[in-house]
Amino acid sequence: MKKRVAQQGLRILTAFDWPLLTLLVIMSVVGLTIMHSAVGGTDWRFTDQARNFLIAFFAMWCAAILPPPLLMRLSPYGYVIGVVLLLGVEFFGETSKGATRWLDLGFVRIQPSEMLKISVPMMLAWYFHKNQGNLRIRDYLVASLLLAIPFILIVRQPDLGTALLVFASGFCVIYFGGLSFRLLVPLFVLGTALIGGVIYYEDRICQPGVDWVVLHEYQKHRVCTLLDPSVDPLGRGFHTIQSMIAIGSGGVYGKGYLMGTQAHLDFIPERTTDFIFAVFAEEFGLYGGIMLLALYGLLILRGLHIALQARTQYGRLLAGGMAMMFFVYVFVNIGMVTGILPVVGVPLPFLSYGGTALLTLGVAGGVLMSISRYQPPRN
């Protein structure tokens, strides 16, 4: 009996990847510390965030103890369930603040797009694993279709931030699966030309009444605000202008913990969620921002190292997709807070308030740990 308990305890301990777990714990401490400052104490939001971290770490442990072969078998089912739930949102979803992103199942209200951040990379990794050694152009087209279906459904909600995260993590799996870089050059040239055209013709296309066709009106305004926030400094440009003021006022060393005036005088909108990096940068300055980016860099590098050391094609692709998902989270959030990307509503990992995003990040961390500790059975 004692031996069995000891074996179970050892199995629980060995489920963790300790370098990754250490980084996640440090990020959690930093997150709760800056949340304490952002909310001005230990009110219900701070308490909720502490609870969210506990739930996220429990989800991480549950994912970590599942072996990659089991995750691979579950991948198609998870993808199909996710797409069916997205279709449910399309036809029966609940609308809040102009977006239809939630589905009421009677006993719980869920946001299905969040689970696609995990299930899409899992599905694509499963597909490439099944077809490894015999990949053709048709396989990449099929993979692109598997990625396009949830991406389009999420964009229609509309939820461009989540759609970009799903697309980025899925695209990275396709690229790691063997997609030639030469095929991406035309897309890169086209994207560069498109961005250059938007900048060059900004004065014309940002006028009221000009329909961008492919984007909603509020998305058009976000792009135009990025190009010139001063056009509407008290309206659409307020978020970007105030966050840049806060970051700049922090200087090199920062104003000190709990001493950020922009945050505590309520000049930074959404300071506990999307714009929490502005709170951090104001209080800890340039050096603090560099240290935070270094922590994120170590987290991403650990994920990529796990991908390189994975024993199976499925593990390599899935771990690479999870690591790049962390990268996109950080890049997009800090990019929009510093004014180099449009505001799209992407949280900063482990710092922004919110339970759903933390749960997704916890599962992603657990998947990385599962892949890291997996040892294929010897024949």
Distance of CA 90 to the CA centre of its chain: 22
Q: Which residues contact 237 (CB under 8 A, 6 or more apart)?
A: 225, 228, 229, 230, 231
Reported pTM: 0.89
Based on DSSP, count helices (H) and strands (E) in the chain, helices before strands. 15, 3
Confidence of residue 93 (pLDDT cuts 50, 70, 90): confident
Specify the 3-state DSSP secondary structure of 196. helix
Quote the CA–CA distance of 143 and 135 in Å, as a whole number. Answer: 11
Question: Could you give phi then psi for residue 109, rounded to 5 degrees?
Answer: -110, 120
Q: Is the pLDDT of residue 242 over 70?
A: yes
Paired residues of 104 in beta bridges: 109
Q: Is the pLDDT of residue 326 over 70?
A: yes
Q: Between 44 and 88, name the one with better pLDDT.
A: 88
Contact 357, 114 (CB under 8 A): yes
Listed in sequence order, the DSSP H helices in 208-354 are: 217-227, 238-250, 261-264, 276-309, 313-337
Percent share of the chain, pLDDT over 70: 93
Mean per-residue pLDDT of the chain:
85
Question: What DSSP assignment string belongs to 103-122?
Answer: EE-SS-EE-THHHHHHHHHH
Length of the chain: 379
Q: What is the pLDDT of residue 98?
A: 67
Which has the closest alpha carbon to 247: 177, 333, 147, 328?
Answer: 333
Q: What is the pLDDT of residues 25-52, one digit of tens each?
A: 999 999 999 998 888 777 788 888 899 9
Q: What is the pLDDT of residue 19?
A: 92
Contact 273, 283 (CB under 8 A): no
Q: What is the dihedral of CA 184, 186, 191, 194, to 10 degrees?
A: -170
Question: 113-130 and 355-373 are packed helices; what angle lies between their axes, rounded to 10 degrees?
Answer: 20
Structure tokens at 8: 């179970």
Contact 368, 17 (CB under 8 A): yes
Q: What is the pLDDT of residue 131?
A: 86
Q: What is the pLDDT of residues 103-116, one digit of tens each?
A: 877 766 778 888 89
Average pLDDT over residues 265-279: 85
Distance of CA 373 to the CA centre of its chain: 24
Confidence of residue 379 (pLDDT cuts 50, 70, 90): low
Contact 166, 151 (CB under 8 A): yes
